[in-house]
Amino acid sequence: MAKYFDVHPVDPQPRAIAQAVQILRDGGLIAYPTDSCFALGCSLDNPEGKDRILRIRGLDERHHFTLVCADFTQLGQFAQLDNAVFRAVKAHTPGAYTFILPATRQVPRRLLHPKKRTVGVRIPNHPVVRELLRALGEPILSSTLLLPGDEEPMTDGWQIKDRLDHVIDAVIDSGEAGLEPTTVVDFSDGYPEITRVGAGDPADFV
C-alpha cells in the first residue's frame, strides 16, 4: 500500500519530504507533482525502479527517461553542453522543458539512449520537487505519469493512490498538477529540434 503525503504546495513540510526521500533511498518508487504534470520517479541507482516504471506505463526499453535535477550545476554533471546550448538551456530553466543532450560518463549506461548516448534532463519550477531534490542530493529518474489507455496524465493525488496503490510506494500530493507534459527539445545534434510540444513555450526553439 502506497504512503500518501499531503504537502503544502509552496512550503512543503520537512518531515514529509524527509520521509519521501528515505523511500527513494530505500529503493522505492514515488508519484510526485511537477510544474507540468505528475511524474513517476525513483533514484538513479535503482534499476528495479526503472523497470517498474516501464511496466506501469506499458513502455519498452527504448523509452527516454528524464533526470529531474535540482539546479544547473547538477544538470551539468550528467549532460554535455557547448556554449550555445548552455545559453539556450540556461535561459529556459527552471521550467517545463526537457532537454535531450549528450550524456557525461556519470550517467549509468542503462539510462542512456541505446544509439545516441544521450540523456533527458530538466530542472522543474515547483517548490515541492525542488525541496525534494535538495533533500535527496541527486537527480530523480522520472517519467510522466501517463497510464496505458489514458489520453491525459493523472492530475489528482488521491486518484493516483487509488489506481496505483499496490504498484508504487508513495504519492506526494500538493494539489492538482497540470495536464501537459514538458516540451521536449532535442539538442543531440547540436541544434534544437522540438520532439514534443507541451507546457513550455516552444517559440524560442523554432
pLDDT tens-digit map of 109-134? 888 877 788 999 999 999 999 999 99
Put simply, whether the predicted model's pTM sits higher than 0.85 gets the answer yes
pLDDT digits (tens, 9 = 90+) for 78-105: 999 999 999 999 999 999 999 999 999 9
Q: What is the helix, strand, coil percentage profile of the chain, to 5?
A: 30, 20, 50
pLDDT number for residue 109: 85
**Residue written as cell 544547473?**
72
Alpha carbon distance 78, 158 (integer Å): 34
* Interval 57-61 mean pLDDT: 90
Residue 5 in contact with residue 146, Cβ under 8 Å? no
Please give the pLDDT value at position 163: 96
- For 156-206, write each residue's pLDDT tens digit: 999 999 999 999 999 999 987 888 999 999 999 889 999 999 999 999 898
Query: In the predicted model, is pLDDT for residue 37 greater than 80?
Result: yes
Q: What local confidence, expressed as pLDDT, does residue 86 receive?
A: 93
Q: Tell me the percentage of the chain whose pLDDT exceeds 90.
A: 86
Q: Roughly how many angstroms between the first and final C-alpha of the chain, as a whole number?
A: 45
